[in-house]
């Protein structure tokens, strides 16, 4: 992986871990992310209008809409997981299993080929993720199953985005996708009492999270222009190390020697991808 896409995915991983930390800290997580997603779509809207009129070709409509649906399911599952389990457990398993789906789809549907070093880098990163995930968690089977489901949605929307940018620009893709996903998520909460009060209480933080989400995702989609889907998706998982660090510093989650070793293995895999 060249320096440009490698740098883009590493920065994206840091930003992604930061907004996940904030989501873990708030109460109504899916509502918080509904406002964040709508904010992200609005932030990207001017660029989408100026550069391509906010229009997407007919061939891109279906993958964009399906990506928005997958993103919605991802948020609902993520909110449920963060309400029950540690950030340092959910994030590694969820983000780590996503590349398995994305890499498989890259090979099966996009004709991508992985050289030996690419396979090695992915294997080392997945090994690091598995080590990090060895922590015993309350309701371990449920936590693992929910985290793997989140990973499936990550792989799904990553693959659909990869397909969409074959036909439309990054700007329109992200603006449409986040607006649609945010509106669907908001609709889920329409019957809640004091909805507007709950939105107002966190609206500034939600908007900031939206900016973080947009920036992190824009960097990833941009990196897809310069490298294979599998490399980009796996490289982004550098955020796992940062998420574990943030969990220890701000949420007082315990990071033992085994988990620290897993983080080091993870970054070794990132370096291997850099050397390709």
CB within 8 A of 237, min separation 6: which ones?
13, 95, 96, 98, 99, 125, 129, 266
Domain-wise residue ranges, the chain: 3-275
Kindly report which listed range (100-104, 203-207, 262-266) carries the lowest average pLDDT score. Answer: 100-104
Rounded Cα distance between 4 and 9, Å, is: 9
- Model confidence at 87, pLDDT cuts 50, 70, 90, reads very high
| CA angle at 118 for the pair 107 and 114, rounded to the nearest 5° | 30
For residue 210, give the nearest of 33, 21, 14 by alpha carbon.
33
Neighbours of 195 (CB within 10 A): 14
Position with higher pLDDT, 209 vs 54? 209
Tell me the pTM. Answer: 0.85
């Amino acid at each position: 992986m060249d320096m440009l896409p490698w740098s883009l995915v590493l920065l994206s991983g840091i930003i992604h871990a930061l907004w996940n930390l904030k989501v873990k800290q708030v109460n109504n997580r899916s509502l918080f992310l509904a406002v964040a997603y709508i904010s992200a779509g609005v932030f990207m809207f001017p660029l989408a209008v100026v550069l391509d009129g906010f229009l997407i070709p007919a061939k891109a409509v279906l993958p964009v809409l399906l990506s928005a649906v997958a993103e919605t399911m991802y948020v609902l599952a993520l909110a449920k997981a963060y309400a029950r389990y540690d950030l340092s457990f959910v994030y590694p398993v969820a983000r780590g299993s996503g590349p398995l789906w994305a890499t498989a789809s890259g090979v099966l549907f996009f004709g991508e080929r992985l050289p030996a070093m690419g396979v090695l880098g992915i294997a080392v990163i997945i090994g690091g993720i598995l080590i990090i995930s060895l922590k015993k968690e309350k309701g371990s089977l449920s936590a693992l199953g929910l985290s793997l489901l989140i990973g499936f949605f990550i792989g799904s929307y990553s693959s659909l985005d990869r397909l969409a940018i074959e036909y439309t620009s990054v700007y329109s893709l992200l603006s449409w996708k986040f607006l649609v996903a945010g509106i669907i998520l908001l609709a889920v909460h329409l019957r809640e009492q004091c909805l507007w009060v709950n939105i107002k209480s966190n609206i500034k933080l939600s908007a900031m999270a939206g900016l973080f989400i947009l920036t992190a995702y824009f960097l990833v989609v941009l990196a897809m222009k310069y490298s294979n889907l599998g490399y980009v998706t796996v490289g982004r998982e550098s955020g796992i190390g940062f998420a574990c660090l943030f969990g220890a510093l701000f949420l007082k989650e315990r990071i033992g020697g085994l988990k620290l070793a897993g983080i080091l293995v993870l970054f070794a895999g990132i370096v291997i991808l850099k050397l390709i």
